[in-house]
Amino acid sequence: MQVLDESTWRARAAAHDARAGEFTRDHLARRARGEKHPVFDFLFDYYPVRPSHLHRWHPGVGVALAGDAPQRGWRDYTELDDGTVAADVGGFLARHGRALSRIRHLLEATAARPAHFDCFGLHEWAMVYRTDRPRHDLPLRLGAQGTDEVVESHQLRCTHFDAFRFFTEPARPLNITPLTRADQPEREQCGCLHATMDLYKWAWKMGPLVPGELWLDTLDLAWRARVLDMEASPYDCRGLGFGVVAVETTEGKAEYVARQRELAAEGRTLRSRLVAVLEAAGAR
């Protein structure tokens, strides 16, 4: 057990709080004004993490805090014999062990599978295929007919169930493989943009086991993946200050894949770090 003195953990907690503010500040200001953001609200709505929780720093498994640590009064923490406080790993596993085992299995299976870079972000296009009810209040860059034509001129190769489940009914049969929740561990692959974003979700579900710095690393990666997700989508986000990755063109596909590969490479590292946390905690 590594023990951090009070000055050390206070400095880390303060740095974490400041970094979390970079992600939450604008969101909280918009929420106070009753404004929505079609790109970034996804990271607070689809992943239902409260901004206040993001500001809470956890030292992570195997680290104890000396002195007057606020974690002493938090759930899932325990006081050790030497008076320090640390994550109550045994208690957390007792309540969430099955979920953590499923997360570990999914992370390891995803890491072991070859990465695919041939989907070109068409999942967002499939979510508006032949519908007059887009998921976001944004104009379609190519219009409804042009969007449908892009879907029909490509082979849909989505491997991520939580994207596939939002496909419109006409789009689902166009996917090269039908996807189900049950076969997610057999289909998920580390090139997928949404599998990369979901590392943030899995870190959140691992609670106090995950060091705060690692959790915000997963959020930072999810943030950048979300930007690519929407820039490559059928929506026109230029009015919000975003660019366009025109995946219906050869040049757009090349840009998408290059950025997708960079994000996936970072995701591999973070995925390994999350698995290491679960290993250290004894989650099997």
Summary mean pLDDT of the chain: 96
Lowest mean pLDDT among 9-13, 32-36, 44-48, 169-173: 44-48
pLDDT at 189: 97
Helix (H, G, I), strand (E, B) or coil at 268: helix
Look at residue 23 and tell me whether its pLDDT is greater than 90: yes
pLDDT at 134: 85
pLDDT tens digits for range 233-264: 999 999 999 999 999 999 999 999 999 999 99
pLDDT at 132: 86
Residue 115 — very low, low, confident or very high, per pLDDT cuts 50/70/90?
A: very high
Predicted TM-score (pTM) of this structure:
0.95
Look at residue 62 and tell me whether its pLDDT is greater than 90: yes
Token pair of 164, please? 């596939």
The residue to which tokens 């909280």 are assigned? 28
The residues, any chain, with a CB within 8 Å of residue 127's CB and separated by 6 or more, are: 135, 163, 166, 167, 168, 171
pLDDT at 137: 85
pLDDT at 141: 96
Sheet holding 77-79, edge to edge: 2-4, 63-65, 85-87, 77-79
pLDDT tens digits for range 133-189: 888 889 999 999 999 999 999 999 999 999 999 999 999 999 999 999 999 999 999
Look at residue 48 and tell me whether its pLDDT is greater than 90: no
End-to-end, the C-alpha distance of the chain in Å comes to 21
Distance from C-alpha of 132 to C-alpha of 97, rounded to nearest angstrom: 43
Look at residue 278 and tell me whether its pLDDT is greater than 90: yes
pLDDT at 133: 84
Distance from C-alpha of 139 to C-alpha of 133, rounded to nearest angstrom: 11
pLDDT at 136: 85
Look at residue 86 and tell me whether its pLDDT is greater than 90: yes
Please say whether the dihedral angle defined by the alpha carbons of residues 219, 222, 224 and 230, taken in this order, is positive or negative: negative
pLDDT at 135: 83
